Structure 1
């Protein structure tokens, strides 16, 4: 199979043991992490693994940077730097695409043209916000008093990002945090640290002061836990599993730091009989298999009206059998890459086996492909009931559970009968039903006759145990800011 050749910058990056990025320096560590290419199961790089002492160093550097040039920089000038960073990411999208294709496994063309390009868009959007963060003057009722507010950065922000979108998830958090004037200690997922380290180098190169962006790759139980509990950190932004999110909240209580969480999901996707079935079937298929099912918003529970079930199921099976699955760096533009790791692949396959044991019928995929790498054939389980584990628990892999329903009130109740509330969607040509369902579905994002749309300007986040806080849009600036109220007593003589 023909593979894309490494760019010289990528080859050089992989050949050197990558240190932590603290205060503009590359810092070595006694322990290192082996970065594995899930398409080949081969080690491709070594990265320093941060411990609690390194997190201390990074937090101190970020704290110091708050009182340096960054702390006095105008919003306009912060915006200029963010815009330059967006330009730099876009100019180097091939490098970001290769780094993410190598340590995540996703197809290079998607990593380059979607993840990297949309990351640049996020930085551009929040570059515009940097000069527009402002307080208010408030006409208070007390005579002889003048009141105004100022909006200030929270301070040192610890950002912990997942492995499914290595560059894009960093951009989602980093762009608004920097626009608001904060300094950052970033811990990327240990499986996919490469693009975050490269981004830190790029930020320094285009003019961000040292200490503003520090990157500490490491194990979640070591570096991540130390960051979440650190009393010098003012805010934690986390994307990952609900279980880890609970631990982060518990760790944050030591200094009552602000926390925002984007956690797991088990999204309900509903096809009504009046929908455009070709469009709905295609949309529902990619709602799950986009990014190989490794997405918190994956449409993992597909509710299909009983009257159209056989037609929709046939279309899903046909699409699954036609998918091209292969290495992320293959010259051929594969539809899907591998699962991120051996443990995650084993977890996915165990869910398939459990689903069958509980009575689900496997109609496509469900097995490991006979080739190097952590590849699982796109899997469809039919005859799923709400009580089955495959309908209740987040699998985070290419496994679609198909369920039948009879009427709107029934499917609404079943769709909401979950601990998660990140996303949901429906397919219908009935406008009244569309708005009625959107109002009643318990999820932070509702898609109607589409799936997966996001935009830097539109807020995104979960309900219930899918987390709290909203990333993107104006809401994200509030997430990384705090408001101060100032009162001024006015003498009567001052008014003359």
Structure 2
């Protein structure tokens, strides 16, 4: 994901207001406080007090609060979508996806929390613990700090708060200073739904606010750039506070020779251009086996030129909205210009259109190679470079020739071949005949390899990271003294050795025969 300003030192002085603009028009649509470090510490302390009562509720009681939140979310979906579009500039359809995701998250984590938090009985063959009753339990970490990105102000910000809350934590959410208004709307939701006071809070601000969150909470969930993720990990490490990081991506799509080309083109365009290409899971490079390259490219070029871009004005108005983060326009243009200088051809788009707002034309690049920025660095915009490869082996080599490893996709008809290929990709998730749809499967872990992050969201692992593990061992039938205790008795230890030999040594060998 592109540069998140969560820990950067630039921005307005702490305590001043931060203006929020509409990327599609340039108009200022709101102003939020730049919360100081002292105010963040106070919010975290309030959250810590509120968390104790929240954690004492059973999972069914917390699920009841989630049900209120889900109903509120759906009842206010038009207002929420309006606000997301206004502060983010994305197509309304992309805003709807965020709402659907959070409604699903409320329902899913409310249902799964009880099982994921249940005690687990532990068995042991060790003769030293015979007769003991042992189990593990999950305990909330306390206050979880969620630092969200600007590209999905609901899905990747409040969406991460839901499982943390379901696990019994309080949450302090620091949204991007580019898109903070949606997070504040969720704070209003919590109030109007009667959630316990201070169990969910929003602190708006720039770099100093993000640093203060990392310096005060018990767990950090960060979504943003690899550069900023390193800073988060370093600061959390100094405090010995765990963190989960979803960072940059340069996700690849491979089109095999036996692919259904209509499906391949549909998946390609959706994967590359949904949310204006401003997704950590966006398809940012495509490799096509030579036998179908020409036919695929002809169809892709035709469909690419049908994509509409501009100011969102309701469902069906545009396919690609604005570029949310102002500096990103320069990055996108630089990647396109660099590719052209090095021999690439532009088959569609390639420029920033004139007029108000921040936009970049949906851009299709061919004759590209790995010497170009567009194939190696995260672009985070509505561009797509396509490269011809001799076969799947060459595609595999190029897919893995990256510092990133978030997601990848394969389009092909031979499922056995596609799965074998997928298992050789150096990526946290691989979809076959799909792109990005895995994100809606909340039971499926999603996390990056290499410089794409640490830890996962979703799945049991993505939920349990918000908990601490405690082990309990109980001696149900304690004797005055166990045979292995001091003072040592040789006969006792000779017995232990015979028992170990029977369990793990000659006794096992005899049974094996």
TM-score, with length taken from structure 2: 0.87
| Match in the other structure for 1:460 | 446
1:159 maps onto 2:143 in alignment: no
Give the corresponding residue for 1:473. Answer: 459
Residue 124 of structure 1: which of 107, 110, 114 is its match?
107
Can you list the C-alpha shifts for 1:393-449, whole angstroms capped at 9, x where unaligned? 001001101111001212111111111111001111112211111110111111111
Paired residues for 1:377-416 under 5 Å: 377-416=361-400
Q: Name which of structure 1's ranges 310-319 and 139-148 shifts more when overlaid on structure 2.
A: 139-148
Matched, 1:31 2:13: no
CA contact (8 A) 1:156 1:235 kept: yes
| Corresponding residue of 1:25 | none
- 1:97-120 deviation per Cα after TM superposition (whole angstroms, max 9, x unaligned): 0110000001224313x2112211
> Does the 8 A contact of 1:412 with 1:437 survive in 2?
yes
Which of 286, 301, 317 is residue 285 of structure 2 equivalent to? 301
Q: Return the match for 1:203 from 174, 190, 201.
A: 190
Structure 2: how far apart are the matches of 1:334 and 1:53? Answer: 43
Aligned to 2:33, which of 11, 35, 48? 48
CA contact (8 A) 2:255 2:288 kept: yes
State the SS of the aligned residue for 2:157.
Answer: helix
Q: CA deviation at 1:148?
A: 2.0
- Give 1:366 deviation, angstroms: 0.9
Partner of 1:446: 430
> Could you tell which deviates more after superposition, 153-162 or 344-353?
344-353
* Alignment of 1:89 onto 2:73: yes
Q: 1:475 to 1:186 in 2, by over 3 A?
A: same
The answer to whether the aligner puts 1:487 opposite 2:473 as a matched pair is yes
Higher mean alpha-carbon deviation, 131-140 vs 45-54, is at 131-140
Question: Contact 2:345/2:366 (CA < 8 Å) preserved in 1?
Answer: yes
Map of 2:172 onto structure 1: 185
**C-alpha contact (below 8 Å) 1:78/1:130 kept by paired residues:** no
User: What corresponds to 2:160 in structure 1?
Assistant: 173
Confirm or deny: 8 A CA contact 1:288 1:399 kept in the other structure. yes
Instruction: Note the C-alpha offset of 1:38.
Output: 0.3
Unaligned runs of 5+ residues in structure 1 are: 1-28
Asked if the contact 1:109–1:333 (Cα under 8 Å) also holds between the matched residues in 2, the reply is: no
Report the equivalent of 2:208: 222
Q: Is the 8 A contact 1:63 1:183 kept in 2?
A: yes
393-402 vs 54-63, which moves further: 54-63
SS of structure 1 residue aligned to 2:276: helix
- The separation in 2 between residues aligned to 1:329 and 1:186, in whole angstroms, is 29
Deviation at 1:308, TM superposition (A): 2.1
Confirm whether residue 350 of structure 1 aligns to residue 326 of structure 2: no
1:144 shift after superposition = 4.3
Uncovered stretches (5+) of structure 2, i.e. residues with no partner: 1-13, 481-513
**RMSD of Structure 2 on Structure 1 (CA):** 1.6
Tell me, yes or no, if the aligned pair for 1:122 and 1:171 is still in contact at 8 Å.
Answer: no
Query: How far apart are the structure 2 equivalents of 1:148 and 1:292?
Result: 48
Cα deviation, residue 331, structure 1: 6.7
Counterparts of 1:475 and 1:200, CA distance in 2: 27
Do the aligned residues in 1 keep the contact of 2:55 with 2:140 (CA within 8 Å)?
A: no
The answer to whether the 8 A contact 1:323-1:335 is kept is yes
TM-superposed deviation, 1:330: 4.9
Q: Is the 8 A contact 1:101 1:329 kept in 2?
A: no
**In the alignment, structure 1 residue 279 sits paired with structure 2 residue 266:** no
SS in 2 for 1:486: strand
Count matched residues: 461
